[in-house]
Amino acid sequence: MVGLKPFVESLRRVWRFILVRLAYLIIAYFITITIIFFLPRLVPGNPIASQAQAIIQRLAMGALQPEAIASAWKYLVRMYGLGRPLHEQYIKFILNLFSGNFGYSMVYYPKTASELIMQAVPYSLILLVPSTLIAWIIGNTLGAFATYRGGKLESALTTFAVIMAQVPPYWLAFLFVYLFVANLKIFPPGEAWSPGLKPSLTPEFILDFLWHYTLPFTTIVVTSIFGWYLGMRFICVSELGADYIAYSESLGVKDKTLFRYVYRNSLLPQVTGLAISFGTALAGQTLVENIFRWPGSGFVLSRAIGSLDYPVIQGTFAVLTLTLFTANFLVDFIYALIDPRIRLGGGG
Amino acid sequence: MRIPPIIVMLFRNKKFLAGFTTLLIVILLGVIGPIVYPVNPFETIGPSESPPNSKYPLGTDLYGRDILAQFLQGIRNSLYVGFITAIVAVAIGLIIGTTSAVLGGKADSVLMGFTNIVMAIPSYFLALIIAATTPVRTLELVGLFIGITSWPWFARAIRAQLLSLKEREYIYLSRMAGYGWLKIAFTDLLPGVASYTVMVAITFMGIGIGGEAFLTMIGLGPSRVSTIGIMLFWAFSMEAHRRGVWWWWVPPGMIMILILTALYLMNMGLDEVFNPRLRRG
């Protein structure tokens, strides 16, 4: 019977690895938050205070009661801790952040930053998760298949992939808009659905949505396939040179079976890549969203940067880094479970 | 002077040669171009949005400014940003990775802890945040922003490679001979990662060029100069792609794809020559 001791020992190693990784991510998150906090305060002329003033002025232009303005001002001052010492503002900022409260948007007041971000997140997810997944599947299958077949097909495909992998997604977006929107006029100019419609589950709306969805989706798929292709091909070629392949070959294992080993072993690093891609899904395609005016979080972020809407910038950064770190941590966690080098000690 | 055989082999490699030649042509275009074609890229010299013709080889933009002039200056400036990024990132990565590997112990833990933290923060966020707080951004600053946010993976790779080199016999011999670690690092360890460092520098150059375009497209690019990113930014802001003004955004995009492909080919060639396992035929 196998003793319990080695098992407990390996469990302890896994735990330690996970805790160390978690500690790094938490520290990194705090540093990110701290940078986010100091960002607008480093810019000359404290934009937070001047923006708060601008909101009040805008309110005063409308037919608002003086008492309402006074209370809005009081609220804004309390919200951003204006006039308080910096460390108090910082603590307040962190406490607010953990309750998901990033303050009011300075451009779309009285909307809050969280409202704007949360409205946008589903659009980014619905655009990026399927496109990333499909590009991953096509790219890896193609990469493995090309390496397996070899010959002219492989070299032609690889040459094509080397060039295609360098095409910036936003540039392909330009090209698509130019061809299919401006010239052929077969796709809509942007956004997620036609202006007259209301989001619902009717066939009419779904079709309209898909019609708007096609171009941004295709842009992301086409520009990410070839990165996966090249990665897969590279890993497969290195894997084919491994000792166990030569050994299996000498044993007379069939090519097809052999290649299944190679494929399976090569897929592991690509799975990590996929997880990380999902982590960046919320921010990864800021410019593509921007060009197609797709109402996702990348679009919100770039608008906020353009108008220096700090609460929204801060909120988006806080949410995006959190999702990215969660994805990273999940990757580490899965690795800790499946990588024997961590479980058994030694190695990395 | 004899040319080292490995260099001869490198230039016999088709991929490397193709990439290197292309890059050389692009560099010449960027360096000599503005001298041969001395048109001010920011001066209105013709009609608004004239398509390419004999007078304006690449046409003009919305403000009647010459696109070829912007293009030539843009190539030079983007290559320059990429170059700075490569220098900054390679320098930081080499210093941190080598120190970490050679000193070991506490210094290693501290440096790698720092590296892991910087690596966890997504580099383009960091670059965005830093760029957003600097009102006037020069080409050097933009290259610097991208460089100081993208070195961590390189530092880790260098450390890992040096740690395995450290266990080689000739290092023991050097130590027995009484050499200090600094001397061993420079004479025995660093030459072992030289080819890898060159490949990484090429990669960083591509990261710098792409990163500049990304930062600029978001609106945080260098001020008062032309770059590939700036051209794309203006074409985007003025909706050139929605109005059929293709000559404004096609050249910068094509040259960027060309530069990045050339860099990638050079790296593929280097890899084939320096990693004999991948050598074919």
Task: Express each pLDDT in A58-93 by its tens digit.
Answer: 666 665 566 666 666 666 666 666 667 778 888 888
Determine the distance in angstroms separating the CA of B3 from the nearest CA of chain A, rounded to an integer.
30
Digit-coded pLDDT (tens) for B120-171? 777 777 777 777 777 778 999 999 989 998 999 999 999 988 888 888 888 7
Which residues in chain A have their CB less than 8 angstroms from residue B126's CB?
35
| Section A267-272 average pLDDT | 82
Higher pLDDT, A170 or A310: A170
Three-state secondary structure call for residue A104: strand
Three-state secondary structure call for residue A197: coil
Q: Do A317 and B264 touch (CB under 8 A)?
A: no
Digit-coded pLDDT (tens) for A156-179? 999 999 999 999 999 999 999 999
**Buried/exposed code over A116-146 (b: 16+ C-beta within 10 A; e: otherwise):** bbeebbebbbbbbeebbeebbebbbebbbbb
The answer to which of A258-272, B55-69, B103-117 has the lowest mean pLDDT is A258-272
Compare all CA atoms of chain A with the CA of B127 and give the residue at the minimum distance. Answer: A35
Tell me the average pLDDT of chain B: 88
pLDDT at A217 over 80: yes
The pLDDT value given to residue A50: 66
Q: What are phi and psi of A104, to 5 degrees?
A: -80, 145
Compare all CA atoms of chain B with the CA of A40 and give the residue at the minimum distance. Answer: B133
Work out the widest C-alpha separation in chain A, in whole angstroms.
Answer: 89
Cβ of A39 under 8 Å from any chain B Cβ? yes
Determine the distance in angstroms separating the CA of A7 from the nearest CA of chain B, rounded to an integer.
28
Compare all CA atoms of chain A with the CA of B159 and give the residue at the minimum distance. Answer: A348
The first and second tokens of residue B171, run together, are: 């290092």
Confidence band (pLDDT; 50, 70, 90) for A347? very low
pLDDT at A9 over 70: yes
Which residues in chain A have their CB less than 8 angstroms from residue B246's CB?
178
**Buried/exposed code over A303-336 (b: 16+ C-beta within 10 A; e: otherwise):** bbbebebbbbbbbbbbbbbbbbbebbbebbeebb
pTM: 0.87
Determine the distance in angstroms separating the CA of A62 from the nearest CA of chain B, rounded to an integer.
31
Q: Are B53 and B64 in contact (CB under 8 A)?
A: no
Q: Name the helix (H) or strand (E) containing B40.
A: none
* DSSP structure string for B103-116: H-HHHHHHHHHHHH
Determine the distance in angstroms separating the CA of B191 from the nearest CA of chain A, rounded to an integer.
24
Higher pLDDT, A140 or A323: A140
CB-closest option in B232, B261, B278 to A162: B261
Digit-coded pLDDT (tens) for A230-254? 999 988 888 887 788 888 888 888 8
Digit-coded pLDDT (tens) for A311-337? 888 888 888 888 888 887 887 777 777
Cβ of B244 under 8 Å from any chain A Cβ? yes
Tell me the average pLDDT of chain A: 82
Determine the distance in angstroms separating the CA of A60 from the nearest CA of chain B, rounded to an integer.
30
Higher pLDDT, A278 or B206: B206
Cβ of A177 under 8 Å from any chain B Cβ? yes
CB-closest option in A27, A39, A174 to B249: A174
Which residues in chain B have their CB less than 8 angstroms from residue A29's CB?
120
Cβ of B126 under 8 Å from any chain A Cβ? yes
Digit-coded pLDDT (tens) for A31-51? 888 888 887 776 655 666 666
Amino acid (one-letter) located at A59: L
CA distance B267 to B205: 12
The answer to which of A233-237, A253-257, A299-303 has the lowest mean pLDDT is A253-257
Angle of the B139-149 helix axis to the B194-218 helix axis, nearest 10: 120
Please name which of B130, B69, B66, B118 lies closest in space to residue B92, comparing C-alpha atoms: B118
| Section A127-141 average pLDDT | 93
Name residues 70-99 of chain A within 8 A of B (Cβ). Answer: none
Cβ of B122 under 8 Å from any chain A Cβ? yes
The pLDDT value given to residue A348: 39
Q: Which residues pair with B44 in a beta bridge?
A: B65
Confidence band (pLDDT; 50, 70, 90) for B104? confident
Cβ of B75 under 8 Å from any chain A Cβ? no
CA distance B225 to B34: 13
Mutation target for B interface from A17, A166, A277, A322: give the one with most B CBs within 10 A: A166
pLDDT at B249 over 70: yes
Q: Do B120 and A165 touch (CB under 8 A)?
A: no
Q: Is the dihedral of CA A194, A200, A202, A207 positive or negative?
A: positive
Digit-coded pLDDT (tens) for B158-213? 998 888 888 888 877 887 888 887 888 888 888 888 889 999 999 999 999 999 99
The answer to which of A316-320, A342-346, B94-98 has the lowest mean pLDDT is A342-346
Q: Do A162 and B219 touch (CB under 8 A)?
A: no
Confidence band (pLDDT; 50, 70, 90) for A203? confident
Determine the distance in angstroms separating the CA of A2 from the nearest CA of chain B, rounded to an integer.
34
CA distance B215 to B207: 12
Please name which of A122, A103, A98 lies closest in space to residue A40, comparing C-alpha atoms: A103
CB-closest option in B122, B133, B241 to A177: B241
pLDDT at A212 over 80: yes
Name residues 181-240 of chain B within 8 A of A (Cβ). Answer: 210, 213-214, 217-220, 232, 235-236
* Residue A107, number of CB atoms within 10 A of its CB: 18
Q: What percent of chain A has pLDDT over 90?
A: 21
The first and second tokens of residue B249, run together, are: 């955004």
Who's near B37: CB < 8 A, 6+ residues apart? Answer: B68, B69, B72
Please name which of A227, A160, A191 lies closest in space to residue B210, comparing C-alpha atoms: A227
Which residues in chain A have their CB less than 8 angstroms from residue B277's CB?
238, 241
The pLDDT value given to residue A46: 61
Confidence band (pLDDT; 50, 70, 90) for B281? very low
Cβ of A18 under 8 Å from any chain B Cβ? no
Q: Do A171 and B257 touch (CB under 8 A)?
A: yes
Determine the distance in angstroms separating the CA of A166 from the nearest CA of chain B, rounded to an integer.
5
Confidence band (pLDDT; 50, 70, 90) for B277? low
